[in-house]
């Protein structure tokens, strides 16, 4: 399977570049696509909601769209900030297939958020699953009903931990059809 275009990863804020590089390599394999990592950028100030102590992910997507250089690019921003949309108390990430942009947050993927000891491999696994899910949405894949599929909608970290970091057969076929 070969997808069209390229995935561009944009670190927002202070991130571990080893994890970003690992994530980019795994995305390349998952989508059979080239992946570039841009130089880090700041999280847009206008996305911050001081009352909530969170960042409005849709504002981040709007800013990302301005960076997009062509229809065949899929932009994925990664941040450590806590994200939300007005209809939900938090989101792990958000994608807009029309703009070709997505954002994923490590914030609630960290064990320390839940009062447990930090495990880098678990955080990476969670981030990878969420990144694949969000980029999959950029390829117009929809939420899957198979709880083991990476496109299954995670409502909690338990859902994310339970699902695989791979597409089910149905979602894989859809991705192949939408990539050519």
User: Looking at the predicted structure, is the pLDDT value of residue 180 above 80?
Assistant: no
Name all domains of the chain by residue range, CATH numbers in brackets.
6-141 (3.40.390.10)
> What is the spatial distance between Cα 103 and Cα 77, in angstroms, rounded to a whole number?
5
Instruction: Give the three-class secondary structure for 149.
Output: coil
Instruction: Tell me the pLDDT tens digit for each residue of 52-99.
Output: 999 999 999 999 999 988 888 999 999 999 999 999 999 999 999 999
pLDDT at 109: 86
0.85 exceeded by pTM? yes
Which is nearest to 167 in space by CA: 143, 159, 180, 68?
Answer: 143
Instruction: Tell me how far CA of residue 122 lies from CA of 32, 108, 110, in angstroms.
Output: 24, 12, 8
Whether pLDDT at 168 is above 60: yes
């Amino acid at each position: 399977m070969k997808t069209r275009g390229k995935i561009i990863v944009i670190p927002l804020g202070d991130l571990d570049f080893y994890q970003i590089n690992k994530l980019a390599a795994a995305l390349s394999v998952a989508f059979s696509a080239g992946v570039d990592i841009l130089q880090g950028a700041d999280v847009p100030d206008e996305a911050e909601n001081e009352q909530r102590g969170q960042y409005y992910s849709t504002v981040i997507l709007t800013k990302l769209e301005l960076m997009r250089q062509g229809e065949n690019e899929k932009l994925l921003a990664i941040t450590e900030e806590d994200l939300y949309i007005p209809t939900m108390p938090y989101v792990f990430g958000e994608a807009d297939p029309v703009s070709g942009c997505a954002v994923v947050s490590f914030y609630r993927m960290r064990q320390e958020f839940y009062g447990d000891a930090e495990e880098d491999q678990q955080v990476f696994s969670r981030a990878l699953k969420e990144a694949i899910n969000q980029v999959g949405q950029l390829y117009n894949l929809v939420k899957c009903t198979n709880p083991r599929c990476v496109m299954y909608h995670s409502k909690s970290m338990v859902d994310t931990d339970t699902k695989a970091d791979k597409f089910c057969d149905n979602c894989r076929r859809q991705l192949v059809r939408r990539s050519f």
